[in-house]
Chain A
Amino acid sequence: MVPLSYYLLLSGILFVCGVLGFLLKRNIITIFMSIELMLNGVNLSFVAFAAHWQRLSGQVFVFFVMVVAAAEAAVGLAIIIAVYRTRETLNVDQVNLLKL
């Protein structure tokens, strides 16, 4: 038996790691991976709450989160490729203008 709070703590740690990576990292691809980490942390709490309340809809929501994450990854990586093509850099410090 594992208390629900342990699962929530693990999910919180993953989310905080994602936030830290988002704020601290300078590489645009790593920032994107941190967002995926945050989504994973939220998914874990969804599944834990689904088991706690005995409702399967929590697991269906995880499915939807994964679909949105896949769409986000496809569009985001295309944007990264477009940014790299115009600026030749992946460092977000040097990507500070909307228009070249």
Chain B
Amino acid sequence: MLHLTLFLFFGTICVAGAINLLVQRHPINSALSLVVVMASLAAEYLLLGAEFVAAVQVIVYAGAIMVLFVFVIMLLNAGEEARSGGSRIAILVGVPGVVIGAVLVAWVLLHTDTSQGLAIGALPGGPVPIAMLLFHDFLLPFEVTSILILIAIMGAVVLASRPEAGARRKESSAPPEETRELVAAGKDH
């Protein structure tokens, strides 16, 4: 009972944050509601016993990635989103799609076996067993992801650097415009 109450509490916060992300028109509000979604998801992970995943969720997702997002939003001075007219096709396809999806979800929910469920801490996922898996069975994927991260860092640096930065460095070896003009003026006299 306690588990179900906690699940519903954090699940409601999670869904409310996700819907708020859609409703808000300013990107900074969307980013902050995404932080709420991620924090409540970390609580859901804790309920399932995944302690390590919950900690990483808070540190990496709610910490590092969201800081990156907020930084870019503030760097680019992103303003409110412009409204665009809705299309007829979206309504024609979307409304039946939503109805079909809702019927499917309701059917699945009515026909599922709810007698057996997941208890609090159903599978203890502390750092030690995760590390044993990660550095034994998944050693090769782990090393490959480290290479992926390295390539991503280099790609981000290359993409975000100004294209004219290299050209400007070459120009700086030649004397600046002003001194050249002064030299030319001196020759005239």
Q: A-side interface residues toward B, CB under 8 Å?
A: 1-7, 9-10, 12-14, 16-18, 20-21, 24-27, 29-30, 32-34, 36-37, 40, 43-44, 47-48, 50-52, 54-57, 59-60, 62-64, 66-75, 77-82, 84-85, 90-91, 93
Contact = CB atoms under 8 A, between A and B. Distances in A.
Given A64-B138, A78-B155, A91-B81, 7 more contacts: A14-B18, A36-B34, A44-B41, A62-B50, A70-B60, A70-B65, A81-B159
Contacts of B34: 33, 36-37
B130 A79 contact: no
A82 to B, nearest CB: 5
Contacts of B50: 47, 50-51, 59, 62
Contacts of B157: 78
Contact of B21 (A21, A52, A54, A55): A21
A74 B148 CA distance: 12
A2 B69 contact: no
B7 A80 contact: no
Contact of B37 (A9, A37, A60, A91): A37
A56 B133 contact: yes
Dominant secondary structure of chain A at its interface with chain B: helix
A70 B159 contact: no
Interface of B: 3-4, 7, 11, 14-15, 18-19, 21-22, 27, 30-31, 34, 37-38, 41, 44-45, 47-50, 52-53, 56-57, 60-61, 64-65, 68-69, 72-73, 75-76, 78, 81-82, 84, 101, 105, 108-109, 112-114, 116-119, 122-123, 125, 129-130, 133-134, 137-138, 141, 145, 148-149, 151-153, 155-157, 159-160, 162
Given A10-B44, A67-B145, A77-B156, A30 B81 contact: yes
Contacts of A32: 69
B112 A63 contact: no
A51 B3 CA distance: 14
Given A1-B116, A6-B7, A73-B65, A29 B73 contact: yes
Contact of A40 (B37, B114, B134): B37
